[in-house]
Structure 1
Amino acid sequence: MKIVHLIQHTHWDREWYFTENDSRTLLYYFMQDLLTRLEQDSALGPFMLDGQTVVLEDYLQVAPEQRERLQTLIRQGRILIGPWYTQTDFMVVGAESITRNLLLGKADGEAWGGYMPVGYVPDSFGQSAQLPLFLREFGIDCAVIWRGWCEHDVPASEFTWCAQNGSRVTTAVLPWGYGCAKWLPVDAAQAAQHLPAILEKQARFSLTGNLLLPNGNDQSPCEYAVPAMLDTLNHRQQAYRFERSSFTAFFSALQATGCPLPVWRGELLSPKYMRVHRGIYSTRMDIKQLNARLEQFVSQTLEPLLAMNGRLGLPYPQQALENIWRGAMKSQAHDSIGGCNADRVNRMVKARLCDGLESAQQLFELNMAMLAGGITACREGKKIIVFNALPYERDTHVRLTLYTPQPDFCIVDEAGVACRWQLLHEAPQDMSLIVQELANSTTTTWYRKCDILLEVKALPACGYQTLFLQEGEAAGFDTASDAIDVLENRWLRLALIHGQLTLEDKRSGQRYPGVLRLVDGGDAGDNYNYSPPPEDWKISSDGCLTGRHGVRGPLNDTLTLTWRIPAPRDAAAREARQCNAALEVTMILILPHDQPWLDVEIEVNNTLRDHRLQVEIPVGVSQAFHFADQPFGLIERENQPAALRHWQAENWTEAPASLWPMQSLVMLHNETRGLCVVTEGLREYEIPAHQPETLAITLFRSVGWLGKPDLLWRPGRASGMALPTPDSQLPGLYRAHFAVLPMAQGQNASFWRAVEQWRTPACGYLDTGWSRFRTNPHGLHFPARYSLLSWDCGLHFSTLKKAQHGNALLLRGWNPGLTPLHCGQPVAEGSCRRVTLAETPTGETDEVVTAGTPVSWLID
């Protein structure tokens, strides 16, 4: 006899083709019905509320008076909540966001009376190889997933799943989804005819006689008559024993069988049985970039600044930060961040991220102003505060905007030594738009607005130093720029030869011709999936260069290139081979004098529809695998998935295309040759089938439908709803930013240090004395130079923040590569102890950190 574990639940999308306002209104009536049914029938339950506590938050917004009823049922274990705050995506959302999602979900669950200790991930578009790591760090040893699994990866629907560092969780797959047993007949005779087909499919890949029967669906109410109907079936047949159950009870029963489970290491992105929608990595790339910018700014700039200021005596606005994170997480749910929504919803997703960034930037400005206000100037001039979040001292360049009425200015350090800087851009500025006190003036005050790059030496570890802007003084060094044709420093050389860019690594002598070639092709897909037209017509930047201008400045070399690329306006024009529009593209290539990377900024005026724009980077390395980053780790992937050879014959739900997600980095290399691309918010790359030695970075794609049927790479029904989404064509100006790093000696320590330097810039603040808002002086005094702590090791910095509970600080780093690293202990005032991502004691004392492993310290 097989034991069938009935899991009654709902899958609650907060937004999709409907808005969060729609779902919150529905939630009021859904919860009213659920609470009443459970109170009236003590035999009902448990009912699982989709594993995310945000549902409770939403409900209390419309029914705060129901808190006590709800909390009683949660404490009784009849409503199961958590462990997540929202059902996040795992492929394009960052590691700190995933960590905070569980941290806030855990805090919510504990406040409500307990949470489900199961990593329930019912609808994420693919599964990260690091999911077991996150769960085990929070004391969770079981996971339930749906999308991404197939028997070609692991032969059973129950298995042991190992993360990169060896963290293990027992995992169960819902092979036919969380809605496979929705809307069951309540008549036992009818159910007896209906259920066997469902249960046979559920048992197809199962190793034991324990089967999961998920009874629920999207925004579906509790099917309260089902348990009694199954009780009746228990008396009418002997093949199955139906139990009112939970995932926790299922895993206990699975363990009791003693059945050995197969082991799987890696991610799960197979679309054999269920679509994983690989196109979401590049859908609404503007939203992806904004999310990445918010994640990075809050975790690696704002929180470290607030942590430092807190130790100096300023208040730490913990609730304000939590509000920012909660707002971001509402935009990081699988549909939301995927961009596979109605246009109205995507606007709401973007607005939440903009709100979070606005709040974060205001916190930054006010805290830098308060910091500057406590520093006594030791030089003439306006104070410039330069902050370094990284826990080691470094020399760096900082972008800074200055407003000055003077034609000349000098920036000096505490000793009066002039600092070098380079003018990036200058424009006149009406100061009444900047300074509140001038807003009502009858005269206009014009200043120079100067965007500069400032060289800073020996910037303290996790700290700041003070410089001084002296207006009307000569710069103190030669600021002249020279016209050039070639960019060159001690490591690299970039030349434009016959309209093609060639990058040379002077360390190894390796040359990379044809880099940064723009290629525009058709996209016949929708918000879920890229799909090539039946006969694509690709247009490149070859022969379309209209302008070039090279400059050698004090700190870097710059080459500005402009293209006008004739191209089809839309799908119809592409099919007709008609170039009736053009892409106007500007590319700014920057080669720092003191760093081994090429910085790339691209601006596109997008007037086209139904297309995808990529930048191709030929590497010239012939091998079967490459590497990309994943949350707190690195993953090795096939250049061309083997499943491409048989997906059509096996009727897969979509093509296992060589379109891959990344956090920010992809590299293709061997021992002597290779290139790495590090991006700011770009989440998708491809290794084209006909160009296996090329990295193609997707800049963006333009599509006009939420869902379309019968795509070339996704046959059959439309995903989602067949709704027009004209905003997803991304009309107007679009910008992208990334760096190219040649890999002369593979993944060595200097390479990883360069990667971290690029993606974690220092920041500056000019204390002009002007402000939109006034605050009273705090009366504190700070040194002109300060370092909170240091932790100089090979780990990459993840965050520094106040602990979730108490006044300790939480410092986190992670091993980004493939080899173990020695981490040592931070040097700081106060005691240091190792903790988990959940900020609980770990007892770990080993200073050798395995690949793909985060290390967190509490500093009292």
Structure 2
Amino acid sequence: MKKKVHVIHHTHWDFEWYFTTNESFIQLAYHMDEVMNALETNQIDFYLLDGQMSILDEYLQCFPEQKERIKDLVVEGRLKIGPWYTQTDELIVSGESIVRNLNLGMDLANNLGGYMNIGYLPDSFGQSKDMPKIYNGLGINHAVFWRGVPNDVTTDREFDWFSEDGSKVTVSNIKNGYFVGVGLITDDNYQSLMNIIENGATNQQLVLPVGGDQRYVDFNLRERIDRYNENLPEYELVESSYEQFFKEIQNYPLVEVQGEFISSSVSKIHRSIYSSRYDHKYLHDQVERRMIYQVEPLMTLAEKWGIPYKQGALDRIWKLLNKSQAHDSAGGCNSDATNKIILDRLIEADQLSASIIDYLTRKIAESRVDAQQNKLTLFNTLPWGTKKIVTVAISSEHHEVSIQKEGVSLPIEVLQTVKEYNGSIKRNVTEMDQSQFYYIHTIMFEAEIPALGFTSYQICNKETIVPTNKKTEPNIENSHYQIFLVNGQLCLKEKQSGQLHKNFLKIEDSGDEGDTYDYSPPYEDDQYNLYFDEAEIAVQANRLQSRMKLSGQWLIAKNLDERQRKIRTQLVPYTFTIVLQKESEQIQCHLEIQNTAYNHRMRAVIQVPYENQFSYTDTPFGTIKRVVEDPHINDWKALNWREEPTTIFPMLHYVNTHNHEKSVTLFTKGIKEYQLIGEKYNQMALTLFRSVGYLGRPDLLRRPGVASGNEFKLIPTPDSQLLQTLTFEFAIQLEKKYNPAKLMRNYLNYAVAQPYYQIQELNRFTTKLKYFVSNLLPEKIDPKAEMTLQSENLVFSSLRKAVKAEGSEVRLYNPSDTQTTQGGKIILSKEQQYEYVDLKGMPLNRREVGQEIILGEFKPGEIKTIRII
């Protein structure tokens, strides 16, 4: 029996890379002519357009007249499109972003005749363990990818990949890359090519992908197939598709595997790309967090109160974000010109998403039943009530103000007061009308806001001030911790146990001779720790919070030459602020530096009071346990691995270590990389940023051999040196037990701010839209809790308008990868219909009616989506 070789004719169309999307688009415009002509004239049978719709989306904006041609070819099953919008990164992008990406791609493809129902990610830098359940939730049961599968797990090219909840996809692992089949066109090494794709194949069905980056149509494909068939009597090469391949292997027994795939045993995986272009990652995280946890829930609530849900605006933002989440784009391994476009897209998404919040908070606040001048409305976009310290900027004609709730003044702290003018501006300031000056007060107070709702406070004259004590001693404290400086080193005391942690936080600086793909230490490095010996110290304390501000300059090596010579001449200004809010378990840290040096890496290093063998972090829809030392760290070269398996790992929102007595967690905003270091792995290192100057470099210590990216040309990226002001935000939490559901709730309470709006006419520039008039809603809004989640064991993932029908969808998941748990319940404001749906919004059971939704049992890692009508 002959072995059947499925020749998959395709192109891999990087949305952007060392070229910009604009430059690539021109090639696409002509490439599509070749594709359609070749299919229509029967020169080729099938063509795979890289599994992503973003390129077709942009193509049809310029060439709408080609829509019917494309649709005819898709309906015939010859042109394969979708299901993705862009080929996402899977490791530093949230689960909701991945779902939105597939939702967008599937919808666009359906408008063109349908999508290839395969999880096709041929070049992503590693595979998340959650992909099988994401795929199954969207009706996908097969996947194709290249990178990351460890030889220790399986050397098979086909296997069944499980998530911990039992979800399964059958995988075709293109171990030699999506470009391996180009040899069919260019070489006559017949048996050699067969040997490559046969190594690890589990049956008589073989896959030969013929394509490459932005590759043209191979018009001589059939001729070359015929030639190979003539010279390979034991094989039958046929034009085929991945759908046909999976159909023909469906009855073969396959090995079962589980987990994430981020090994460099077969292919480069770039395990330190998570810290390239930190400026992008910080803004990306901010927009993603705002969209998922503020914009979509707020827009869902607003629709209930009579404000139309603007799905088109959301789609526009998600497209901008998803384009920036493609594997190269998210990684930052691009030319400076491309990275500038990515940054511009993120800025556009940032402005659009912030403007939605500005518009809706104003419309809702001004349409309340009790709306009146100087009402301050605070919003809670999470499904549980919150009591937290908030910071707001309010405008008042009074030099002193107070915040009142039901006639009772609340303690406030005035952080800053600025005098402003709201009259017609004059060239001569003395001609301005003194009666038209007012004050902007930035204040802090403790607010209590119901679940998925809002509450209001009245702004009045005079203030109940929380006395601020400007201390001279370099220490701060709250009910849980005391933090103080000793000889420039930060020390932490836990009040309950009395345990003292000396030098618990420091900054590490080292050289980086890597590139935008990978960190790599210089051949001759000079690494050192940075402390706060010469810092200027400012300490303030009151009933609401204590904060310590350390300002100074660190002296570091200016470049790699100084590293080699072990000298330091470059001053790096910094301001590091530590905040302890009353009764909070979190130590909030805010670092701002002005980077003035080249080719280096900075990390925040946090000491933990025990040794570690594992780390724990959240994934798109779960958590993962990782070993702190790779078993092949010493023999990877002998095994011919593509790069050193340094245990540098990706993270989404937090990283944790724990033992039977204590748990330490680091929450971050935009920091996406960590490593456990130290003699006993008792230090948690967050990579703040890397400063590098090339897209790809050869012969790195961690990655020997040819340069990543383009091996034939050094591409300078001076902008990736990040010579600019950089801001880093993270928090440290110490507690007795590890609970991943509680950690995610703590993260959301830390990272998701409360939108707010003040009704006033003194300052028409509180937002960009405030200057313009706005009609009130015809029916006044009476606030009430629309929905409350009562669960100690689940993670709230999203709330948005239903995808395919009326109502709203709330998504929850069990973060434990080992334990089945009881989900708790959702309490509604009234009896409503509800049903469980998949990630496409399709019903999974019959509708029920009630005011309480009992969530029932959740398997390990299980996702459930409830549509409430």
Shorter-chain TM-score tier:
over 0.9
- Residues 695-735 of structure 1 show CA distances to partners (whole Å, capped at 9, x for unaligned) of 00011110011111111101111112321111101112110
Amino acid at match of 2:194: L
Shift in Å, 1:243 = 1.8
- Residues 162-192 of structure 1 show CA distances to partners (whole Å, capped at 9, x for unaligned) of 1232311111110100001116337xxxx5x
In the alignment, which residue of structure 2 is the partner of 1:709?
Answer: 698
- Residues 215-253 of structure 1 show CA distances to partners (whole Å, capped at 9, x for unaligned) of 000000121321343135435532111121111111111
Query: Which one of the candidate residues 239, 248, 270 is aligned to 1:244?
Result: 239
Amino acid at match of 1:796: V
C-alpha distance in 1, partners of 2:513/2:100? 37
Query: Which one of the candidate residues 429, 445, 449 is aligned to 2:440?
Result: 449
In the alignment, which residue of structure 1 is the partner of 2:845?
Answer: 843
Comparing 793-802 and 580-589, the one that deviates more: 793-802
Is 1:266 equivalent to 2:259 in the alignment? yes
In the alignment, which residue of structure 1 is the partner of 2:849?
Answer: none
Is 1:481 equivalent to 2:460 in the alignment? no
In the alignment, which residue of structure 1 is the partner of 2:205?
Answer: 210
Preserved contact between residue 305 and residue 781 of structure 2 (Cα < 8 Å):
no
Amino acid at match of 1:701: R
C-alpha distance in 1, partners of 2:516/2:570? 23
C-alpha distance in 1, partners of 2:740/2:33? 59
Preserved contact between residue 425 and residue 452 of structure 1 (Cα < 8 Å):
yes
Is 1:319 equivalent to 2:312 in the alignment? yes
C-alpha distance in 2, partners of 1:136/1:130? 10
Shift in Å, 1:334 = 0.6
Change (3 A) 1:665 1:374: same
Q: How does 1:252-651 map to 2 (within 5 A)?
A: 252-256=247-251, 258=252, 260-377=253-370, 381-413=373-405, 415-429=406-420, 443=432, 446-457=437-448, 459-470=449-460, 473-483=461-471, 485-542=474-531, 544-651=533-640
Query: Which one of the candidate residues 728, 732, 742 is aligned to 1:736?
Result: 728
C-alpha distance in 1, partners of 2:740/2:480? 16
Comparing 16-25 and 793-802, the one that deviates more: 793-802
CA-based RMSD of the aligned residues comes to: 2.1
Shift in Å, 1:534 = 1.8
In the alignment, which residue of structure 1 is the partner of 2:77?
Answer: 77
In the alignment, which residue of structure 2 is the partner of 1:32?
Answer: 33
Shift in Å, 1:608 = 0.7
C-alpha distance in 2, partners of 1:723/1:805? 46
Comparing 547-556 and 288-297, the one that deviates more: 547-556
C-alpha distance in 2, partners of 1:592/1:97? 32
Shift in Å, 1:474 = 2.1
Preserved contact between residue 15 and residue 23 of structure 1 (Cα < 8 Å):
yes
Shift in Å, 1:813 = 2.3
- The secondary structure found in structure 2 opposite 1:184 is helix
- The secondary structure found in structure 2 opposite 1:185 is helix
In the alignment, which residue of structure 2 is the partner of 1:163?
Answer: 163
Preserved contact between residue 400 and residue 463 of structure 2 (Cα < 8 Å):
yes
Amino acid at match of 1:712: L
In the alignment, which residue of structure 1 is the partner of 2:61?
Answer: 61
Change (3 A) 1:165 1:545: farther
Q: How does 1:135-214 map to 2 (within 5 A)?
A: 135-182=135-182, 184-185=184-185, 193-214=188-209
Preserved contact between residue 357 and residue 755 of structure 2 (Cα < 8 Å):
no
Shift in Å, 1:430 = 5.5
Is 1:782 equivalent to 2:814 in the alignment? no
C-alpha distance in 1, partners of 2:795/2:421? 42
Preserved contact between residue 160 and residue 264 of structure 1 (Cα < 8 Å):
yes
Amino acid at match of 2:638: A
- Residues 364-410 of structure 1 show CA distances to partners (whole Å, capped at 9, x for unaligned) of 111111111212437x7511111111111121222212233422101
- The secondary structure found in structure 2 opposite 1:134 is helix
C-alpha distance in 2, partners of 1:784/1:417? 22
- Residues 329-360 of structure 1 show CA distances to partners (whole Å, capped at 9, x for unaligned) of 11111111111011011010011011011011
What's the TM-score once normalised by structure 2's chain length?
0.93
Preserved contact between residue 465 and residue 786 of structure 1 (Cα < 8 Å):
no
* Unaligned stretches of 5+ residues in structure 2: 847-853
Amino acid at match of 1:336: S
- The secondary structure found in structure 2 opposite 1:786 is coil
* Unaligned stretches of 5+ residues in structure 1: none
- The secondary structure found in structure 1 opposite 2:464 is coil
C-alpha distance in 2, partners of 1:161/1:319? 35
Amino acid at match of 2:243: T
C-alpha distance in 2, partners of 1:333/1:198? 30
In the alignment, which residue of structure 2 is the partner of 1:833?
Answer: 835
C-alpha distance in 2, partners of 1:857/1:782? 29
Amino acid at match of 2:363: M
In the alignment, which residue of structure 1 is the partner of 2:646?
Answer: 657
Amino acid at match of 1:693: N
- The secondary structure found in structure 1 opposite 2:727 is strand
C-alpha distance in 1, partners of 2:394/2:303? 27
- The secondary structure found in structure 1 opposite 2:388 is strand
Amino acid at match of 1:450: H
Comparing 611-620 and 750-759, the one that deviates more: 750-759
Comparing 330-339 and 555-564, the one that deviates more: 555-564
What's the TM-score once normalised by structure 1's chain length?
0.94
C-alpha distance in 2, partners of 1:76/1:443? 73
Amino acid at match of 1:847: G
- Residues 241-276 of structure 1 show CA distances to partners (whole Å, capped at 9, x for unaligned) of 1121111111111123x3x22221111111122111
C-alpha distance in 1, partners of 2:366/2:373? 14
Preserved contact between residue 398 and residue 763 of structure 1 (Cα < 8 Å):
no
C-alpha distance in 2, partners of 1:230/1:439? 79
Shift in Å, 1:5 = 0.6
Preserved contact between residue 824 and residue 847 of structure 1 (Cα < 8 Å):
yes
Comparing 785-794 and 133-142, the one that deviates more: 785-794
- Residues 814-845 of structure 1 show CA distances to partners (whole Å, capped at 9, x for unaligned) of 22345433224422242121112221223399
Shift in Å, 1:562 = 2.1
- The secondary structure found in structure 2 opposite 1:362 is helix
C-alpha distance in 1, partners of 2:493/2:820? 31
C-alpha distance in 2, partners of 1:749/1:111? 39
- The secondary structure found in structure 2 opposite 1:585 is strand
C-alpha distance in 1, partners of 2:30/2:393? 52
C-alpha distance in 2, partners of 1:772/1:675? 43
Shift in Å, 1:20 = 0.9
In the alignment, which residue of structure 2 is the partner of 1:220?
Answer: 215
C-alpha distance in 2, partners of 1:672/1:211? 52
Change (3 A) 1:779 1:125: closer
C-alpha distance in 2, partners of 1:371/1:118? 43
Change (3 A) 1:454 1:254: same
- Residues 731-781 of structure 1 show CA distances to partners (whole Å, capped at 9, x for unaligned) of 121101011001222327655543332133322222223354424423434
Amino acid at match of 1:833: E
- Residues 552-608 of structure 1 show CA distances to partners (whole Å, capped at 9, x for unaligned) of 123111111123211111111111111111122211100110321111000001111
Change (3 A) 1:431 1:270: farther
Amino acid at match of 1:392: W
Q: How many residues align?
A: 843
Amino acid at match of 1:31: M
In the alignment, which residue of structure 2 is the partner of 1:106?
Answer: 106
In the alignment, which residue of structure 2 is the partner of 1:796?
Answer: 795
In the alignment, which residue of structure 1 is the partner of 2:226?
Answer: 231
